[in-house]
Structure 1
Amino acid sequence: MKITKLFFGILFFIGLTTYAQDKAFTLDEIWGGAFRTEGLQSLYSMKSGTEYSVLEKDQVSGTTNIEVYSYETGEKTKTLVSSSSLGDLSTFQGYSFSKDENRILLSSELKQIYRRSSEGIYHIYDVPSKGIFKVSDKKIQSPMLSPDGNKIAYVLDNNIYMLNFVTGQEVQLTDDGKKNEIINGITDWVYEEEFSFVRAFDWSADSNKIAFLRFDEREVPEFSMDVYGKDLYQKQQVFKYPKAGEKNAKVSLFIADISAMALDEVKLGTYKDFYIPRLKWTSNPDILSVQVMNRHQNNLDLIFVDAKTKTPKVVLNEKDEAYIDITDNLTFLDDNSFIWTSEKDGYNHIYHYAETGELISQVTKGTWEITDYYGYDKKNKKIYYQSVENGNINRDIYSITLDGKDKKRLSQKEGSNDAEFSADFSFYINYFSNATTPYEYSLNNGKTGKVVREITNNKGLLEKLAGYDVRPKEFSTIEINGETLNTWMIKPKDFDPKKKYPLFMYQYSGPGSQSVRNSWYGANDYWYMMLAQEGYIVVCVDGKGTGFKGAKFKKATQNDLGNLEVQDQIAAAKYFGALDYIDASRIGIWGWSYGGFMSSNCLFKAPDTFKMAIAVAPVTSWRFYDTIYTERYLMTPQENAKGYDNNSPINFVDGLKGKFLLVHGSADDNVHVQNTMQLVEALVQANKDFDWAVYPDKNHGIYGGKTRLHLYNKMTNFIKNNL
């Protein structure tokens, strides 16, 4: 094992610490937002490509406005909508345009349901006439305007509706929707969480057809959570949650022909126990694309459905020995050829296929990953994307022609670059940061990448931090178990290599994740600096199974989650423990969610390496987690019992020697508190001493009010007392 490379971002800190004081970070400041960065509001690029709109609230009058600005000058060109002129609608929280931008869908009274889903009151604003009307008096879900702007589809009480603005006709397309039984047009819990979408319907290009998914979850087992609140009796939240190996909802596909007032189910073939993780109309209004995936998620068919005959045809098939990631990168060109991303050559790259599914070209190639796909400029036949070609802890913005030529790196600064392009790709807003530079926002030329104008930066935060003992991240790579792993380290001020320091390790380690990245700080980073000020060295290592280093590295943990990843963290701890300046008898580790699963395993399986661990909202047995995520990496428990049980912390409590803090939210709909309760019982029966805390009615994020502050106070005190 050896350090192979160091690339410190210290020049900035030399300048900074010349004037720096020794002011220490505090948890009250960190979680009170004292070091929050200034950002940009979410913007919508107007179809002209020269203007964008943003939602703004006037702090004096309380009115909400949609303001339009010039990309090039940043000057406001007009106020498109103001709630001061909307009658009873005194404010709204979001908006979306019809394709021609003549109608705007305004959302208000939004109520969160799960991670991505919400319901609310929606109004339609007609731009030419300045008229407004309410879509429904009830709270609805996932409304979507038709491409011609004359209709809207939405979901109410698990049924899908269509309202025609021109005729005034409202049609209820389904009538069998029922909570915890049948869902039409939106996804069930597990699709929402693991396939990352809620709206399960789409309009055809001619606005005459709606394709939608129907979920029959009557046979899916129910999960219940007590919500305590402040009333005399608690309430119970009951929802369908398919745990690994259990029955999923039966999903089916329908096409509603609005003009013909017909509704037909589409039979996709002889698939059994399958998923439909995406549906999207192609450029041809009579051709619907549907992605069908087997339960193991290692075989994916892209199917084109003829909406007239309801005939399906497989145009593309992808297979993988491990699994296939689902994305939203599928883009249809005017000739119905399409752009697709795939890991089939070992790295995630962009491909161009004909409408028939015949490969036209592999657009990008190399031993590096595409990390984001921004879109296709049909005028100049260019694709815009983000990749890690310039080092896998960095992100850069590129353009390339559709035939794979004339590749150009548009971003200039090393670190994390992200982009939001104008509708015609003539401009983009560059979001930049690195480990020494807080977020900077600039308008850039879409062809050259050159800065047109600076928008905003966070120099004020830098000036504020000049008064603090800022501890830089030192990036490096280390050789562990035959692989080169990315790491960062934060050292105390006046670090003395002749002294011995306690080591505190952070990791997440989930498949495809990345914790070692050249970007600006989050709240946890300030906490790590605070710990460094207390004399701790803090380290993070991305082990096998993490992302952006190719499919082989990412999928090395397949069918054996928590084995190689834990070995890497243990080996890394031993490596650092062998350094002259680390006290090998004082090494701790922590993590949240998958990271909590990992930190528990490390403490239980390597009791002579780790003195203490903190696990927040951990999975303690993969048998308790959902089908889509868990089976993607482990298959079912019936097929791979060892993969589940050999690496679940709940089965290794006898190994506990050190100090252990276990934390969970009681209303965690994702990683259920059942995980912690079962682990607690196992620890009790093994007569092991440990500390634990359950936060009432808090979800997977464990936040709200002073909750985060309380949690981090508890964790900080635990570290100080036990490491």
Structure 2
Amino acid sequence: MKRIALFFLLASALTSHAQRNLNLEETVFGPRTYAPTSITAASWIPKSNSLTYLDKSYQNLLSKSAANNWAETSLLSKTELETALKAAIPNETFSLRMFPYDYKWRDGNSLLLQVDGKDKVYTVVYNLKSKNIESFIGNDSQGANRELSTDFSKIAYLVDNNIAIVDKNGKVTAVTNDSDKGIVNGSDYTHRQEFGIKKGMWWNAQNDKLLYYRKNETMVANYPLPQWSPKVAEIKWIKYPMTGQKSEEVTLVVYNSVTGQKVTLQTGDHSEQYLTSVTWDPSGKFIYVGVLNRGQNDLKFNKYNAETGALVKTLFEETATTWVEPENPLTFLPNTADQFLYQSDKDGYNQLYRYNTEGKLIKKLGFKDIVLENLLDFSADGNKISYIGVTNNGMDRQLFEVDLKSGKTVQLTNESGIHQASLSGDGKYIYDQYSDLKTPNIIQIKEVKSGKGTVLVKADNPFSGKINNPKIEFVQLTSADGKYPLTGRIIYPNDFDPAKKYPVMYYLYGGSHSQLVSNKWLGGAGYFDLYMAQQGYIVFTMDNRGTNYRGRDFYTATHRNLGQNEMADQLKGIEFLKSKSFVDQQRMGIFGWSFGGFMTTSFMLHHNDIFKAAVAGGPVIDWKFYEVMYGERYMDTPQENPEGYKLTSLLNKADQLKGRLLIIHGAQDPVVVQQNSMEFLEACIKAGKQVDYFLYPTHEHNVMGKDRIHMYEKIADYFNQHLKK
């Protein structure tokens, strides 16, 4: 018995010894190394109850279906695909390392795949029945923003700032020939990708006309980014329109690929407006565009004639005292070609509205206070549509389906947490990938009617037996105005002892379109958060007013005075921490990047007696240095809101700095230009205040790759130097 007892003591000691903390390299690459078991690239085959996905080696496309009781079968291997490619395109060299991750189903029998050849990128249609390449089309691998016509007969793409079209026979047609680099055609980087812009070109359903953005930024100020690698440093010039200054001028052009003629949509005074939510009518005769004024508080949703470019009519108009922010194109109903779905938060929450093409509102399809996050697919009969909605005060994601005629909405998933879910093509089954704070990953197929489930994956904690897993809890607080519940996340050190006192790393962001705390695995915490907790810190994070998924009033509370209500809410989190006996109030540090860098620096000036040390990465220091599209949405122009710009500027408050502040910036940052931090350094020098500063010469707004390990080491060392006893 003594030997058995000794054996178990030794085994326990060995197990305990095997558990270790994350190292700095794992703060960057750990999410890949310790990812919970999952299923890769899952997709329903259209109009079926068959699910496809890639195997763990990324070499085979596999399938499960209700017909064979969800048993696994092989559909297509990388080797079989390579054989078919060689037969169809014998003179090309393909080097597939894995089965194409971004495969798409064209129909129930054929796949749409993108593969790289020696000098070209090919889009191919693979037929699963005949096991061969049905058709293919390739374009120069240097081409960007590829836009494939729906009949797979041609591809529009960019070479620098000009558009070309290649057809299936390899014939290339130049659509634009602008020699001035200040004229940019067809780019998704229009309006700096604000307003949900993800594309710069659109084919009509008839595949004979290409609609594209034409961006004129010749009048926009050039901004210098020094390049340090050459023997004599050089300047890379970018176009950067700062708040209150001249912005780009954008038009929409229709190119007829049959006649070669072009027509510009008559969108009015294009010098002071934004063109968003661009959508073709199914008939190909009309184009719908959201025309947003520069002040971003007046949106006209217009209908244009595609042949003449003339304005047909304004379908409806949205105005606001804060801002209107269109984020999505229209979604036309499959059974009713003259009706579409429009997303808007005009009534408080981003929800669906059913309109006809004359601008008449047919039905409001919103449900309670649910925020629509991701619109999914129509049902097989076209009478319903599903979507992922945000519930539980922003913490959860659930699958919903709404009847387009009656508006009746049904919630199809129920467990509190984050569901990434979708309905099968026949509507009988749900593919549901789910996690919460304590659940790494569960993937199951659920029958809609009965609710019965077949578990495909139930992931174990990937840290078990390897990495110390810090205790994480959610904290419920109330916003400073008393109106909204707020959720914080606290991470405790290893072997936490409430009788001891611990230093704090307060991590925050706080800006629009963000959320750091949600009910998913690890509560949304990053691996650097876990690392710092393992190093003996209390790590705290909270989402304030101004962040996303809580409705319009919640995120517009910051209008014209960025940082003020955000800090007021974050002070509630700070009060919570200070109320805990295990928090050492004399050893509190704060860290944030970008908007979080602005918030971090703001706290060190406005509330300078709280934090002993701070790290601000890529911080906005004065909103007059930020770009037009984002900056003016929240602050208006400096001319319109001088008091707000003065209040939120940190340049005139440098003399209030206390504690140790480290600013980190990328020298190539095209988002928050380095001028922000350099001007603040100069203000601190004039005020006699010491600031620590570190520059990453080759990085842009974020420090990426292996250099990110260096960055995290610097941040950890800084807090250890100033907060550890």
Scaled by the length of structure 1, the TM-score of the pair is: 0.86
In structure 2, distance between residues paired with 1:410 and 1:282 = 31
1:77 is aligned to: 75
For 1:471, the equivalent position in structure 2 comes to 471
The corresponding residue for 1:721 is: 721
Deviation at 1:77, TM superposition (A): 2.1
Shift of 1:55: 6.9
Answer yes or no: is 1:90 the counterpart of 2:98. no
Retained in 2: the 8 A contact 1:37–1:439?
Answer: yes
Q: Distance in 2 between matches of 1:98 and 1:387?
A: 25
Closer, same or farther: CA 256–530 of 1 in aligned 2, 3 Å: closer
| 2:647 aligned partner | 646
Code of the residue aligned with 1:77 in structure 2: it is L
Structure 2 matches for 1:371-450, cutoff 5 A? Answer: 371-377=373-379, 379=381, 381-422=383-424, 425-445=427-447, 447-448=448-449, 450=451
Matched residue type, 1:89: T
Separation in 1 of the partners of 2:142 and 2:546?
42
Which residue of the partner structure matches residue 562 of structure 2? Answer: 561
Equivalent residue for 2:28?
A: 31
**Aligned-partner SS, 2:391:** coil
1:279 aligns with 2:278: yes
Cα deviation digits, residues 491-546 of structure 1 (max 9, x gap)? 33554545443333111100242222111238954433443344432222222212
User: Within 5 Å, which residues of 2 pair with 1:159-198?
Assistant: 159-165=162-168, 169-176=171-178, 178-179=180-181, 181-188=182-189, 190-192=191-193, 194-198=194-198
CA distance change for structure 1 residues 421 and 247 in 2, over 3 Å: closer, same or farther?
Answer: farther
Structure 1 residues 150 and 530: CA distance shift in structure 2, 3 A: closer
CA contact (8 A) 1:472 1:490 kept: yes
Q: 1:398 to 1:126 in 2, by over 3 A?
A: closer
**Alignment of structure 1 residues 79-118 onto 2, 5 Å:** 79=77, 82-84=81-83, 85-86=85-86, 87=90, 88-91=92-95, 104=112, 106-108=114-116
In structure 2, the CA distance between the partners of 1:525 and 1:97, relative to structure 1 (3 Å rule), is closer
SS at match of 1:623: helix
Check whether the contact 1:410–1:448 (CA below 8 A) recurs between aligned residues.
no
| CA offset digits 1:81-114 (Å, max 9, x no partner) | 623543533225666669568684625389xxxx
Amino acid at match of 1:358: K
CA RMSD of aligned residues (A): 3.2
Alpha carbons 1:31, 1:523 under 8 Å: kept: no
Instruction: Please give the alpha-carbon distance, in whole angstroms, between the structure 2 residues aligned to 1:380 and 1:481.
Output: 44
Tell me if structure 2 keeps the 8 A contact 1:70–1:77: no
Q: Residue 28 of structure 2 contacts residue 527 of structure 2 at CA under 8 Å; is this kept in 1?
A: no
Structure 1 residue aligned with 2:267 = 268
The C-alpha deviation readout for 1:117-169, integer Å capped at 9, x for no partner, is: xxx94224354663776634461112222122222222223222223326x65
**Residues 423 and 431 of structure 2 are in contact (CA less than 8 Å); yes or no, is this contact kept in structure 1?**
yes
1:153 equivalent to 2:156? Answer yes
> Quick one: structure 1 residues 469 and 66, their matched pair in 2 at CA, closer, same or farther if it must change by over 3 Å?
closer
Residue 351 of structure 1 deviates from its aligned partner by: 1.4
Does the 8 Å contact 2:184/2:215 carry over to 1? Answer: yes
> 1:339 maps to which residue?
341
Using the TM superposition, give the Cα deviation of residue 454 of structure 1 relative to its aligned residue in structure 2, in angstroms: 3.2
Deviation per residue, 1:27-84 (Å, 9 max, x gap): 244334243334443355544445566678978xxxxx67363454342223486235
For residues 576 and 692 of structure 2, what CA distance do their matches in structure 1 show? 28
Alpha-carbon distance in 1 for matches of 2:500, 2:77: 62
Q: 1:603-614 counterparts in 2 under 5 A? A: 603-614=604-615
CA offsets 1:465-497 (integer angstroms, 9 cap, x no match) = 5x6253222332245342432212223355454
1:276 CA drift (Å): 0.8
- Give the superposition deviation at 1:174: 1.9
Q: CA deviation at 1:420?
A: 4.4
> Alpha-carbon deviation of 1:603?
0.9
| Alpha-carbon offset, residue 555 of structure 1 | 0.3
Greater Cα shift, 385-394 or 491-500: 491-500
Counterpart position of 2:10: none
* Partner-residue secondary structure (3-state), 2:522: coil
1: CA distance between counterparts of 2:495 and 2:323?
47
Change (3 A) 1:98 1:225: farther
Deviation at 1:589, TM superposition (A): 1.5
Letter in 2 for 1:468: N
1:679 aligned counterpart, secondary structure:
helix
Q: 1:106 is aligned with what amino acid? A: Q
User: Match of 2:293?
Assistant: 294
Asked if structure 1 preserves the Cα contact closer than 8 Å seen for 2:248 and 2:271, the reply is no
Report the residue type matching 1:305 in the other structure: Y
Separation of aligned partners in 1, 2:125 and 2:409: 42
Distance of aligned partners of 1:150 and 1:535 in 2 relative to their CA distance in 1, 3 Å threshold? closer
* 2:307 counterpart residue number: 308
CA contact (8 A) 2:95 2:117 kept: no
| Residue 678 (structure 2) aligns with | 677
Q: Whole-Å Cα distance in 1 between the matches of residues 60 and 651 of structure 2?
A: 52
Structure 2: runs of 5+ lacking an equivalent: 1-14
Go from structure 1 to structure 2 and tell me whether the alpha carbon gap of 1:529 and 1:95 turns closer, same or farther (over 3 Å shift).
Answer: closer
Aligned partners of 2:36 and 2:462 also within 8 Å: yes
Once the two structures are superposed, residues 390-444 of structure 1 have per-residue CA deviations (whole angstroms, 9 ceiling, x without a partner) of: 4421111111211354422222321111224555655443231111111333334
Task: Give the Cα–Cα distance (whole angstroms) in 2 for the partners of residues 468 and 449 of structure 1.
Answer: 40
**1:296-695 correspondence to structure 2 within 5 Å:** 296-312=295-311, 313-328=313-328, 330-334=330-334, 335=336, 336-377=338-379, 379=381, 381-422=383-424, 425-445=427-447, 447-448=448-449, 450=451, 453-459=454-460, 461-464=462-465, 468-478=468-478, 480-483=480-483, 484-493=485-494, 495-521=496-522, 525-695=526-696
Q: Secondary structure of 1:82's partner? A: helix
More displaced stretch, 282-291 vs 214-223: 282-291
Most deviating of 665-674 and 100-109:
100-109
Normalising to structure 2: TM-score of the pair? 0.86
2:541 counterpart letter in structure 1 = C
Q: Is the 8 A contact 1:49 1:426 kept in 2?
A: no
**Is the CA contact 1:490–1:537 (under 8 Å) kept in the aligned structure 2?**
yes
Task: Determine what percentage of the aligned residue pairs are the same residue.
Answer: 27
Tell me the distance in 1 between the aligned counterparts of 2:651 and 2:698: 24
Residue identity in the other structure for 1:144: E
Counterpart of 2:366 in structure 1: which amino acid? T
Distance in 2 (alpha carbons) for counterparts of 1:456 and 1:379: 31
User: Separation in 1 of the partners of 2:417 and 2:342?
Assistant: 27
CA 1:716–1:279 in structure 2 vs 1: closer, same or farther (change >3 Å)? same
Please give the alpha-carbon distance, in whole angstroms, between the structure 2 residues aligned to 1:123 and 1:341. Answer: 34
Structure 1 residues 534 and 133: alpha-carbon distance in aligned structure 2, compared to 1, 3 A threshold:
closer
Do the aligned partners of 2:370 and 2:390 also contact (CA within 8 Å) in 1? Answer: yes
Question: Does the 8 A contact of 1:433 with 1:439 survive in 2?
Answer: yes
Report how many residues are paired. 686
For the 8 Å contact 1:102–1:149, the answer to whether it is kept is no
Residues 157 and 177, structure 1, Cα contact 8 Å, conserved in 2? no
- Change in Cα spacing, 1:384 to 1:672, as seen in structure 2 (3 Å) is same
**Contact 1:83–1:89 (Cα < 8 Å) also in 2:** no
What SS does structure 2 have at the residue aligned with 1:693?
strand
Give, as a single letter, the amino acid of the residue that structure 1 aligns with 2:359.
G
CA distance in 2: counterparts of 1:579 and 1:462, whole angstroms: 28
TM-superposed deviation, 1:562: 1.2
Cα deviation per residue 1:252-287 (whole Å; 9 max; x = unaligned)? Answer: 111122334321112124565111123121222212
Which residue identity is paired with 1:224? P
CA distance in 1: counterparts of 2:638 and 2:425, whole angstroms: 47
Q: Is 1:712 aligned to residue 712 of structure 2?
A: yes
Distance across 2 between alignment mates of 1:656 and 1:217: 39
Structure 1 residue 637, shift from structure 2 partner: 1.6
Relative distance call for 1:324 and 1:190 in structure 2 (3 A) is same
* Secondary structure of residue in 2 paired with 1:607: coil
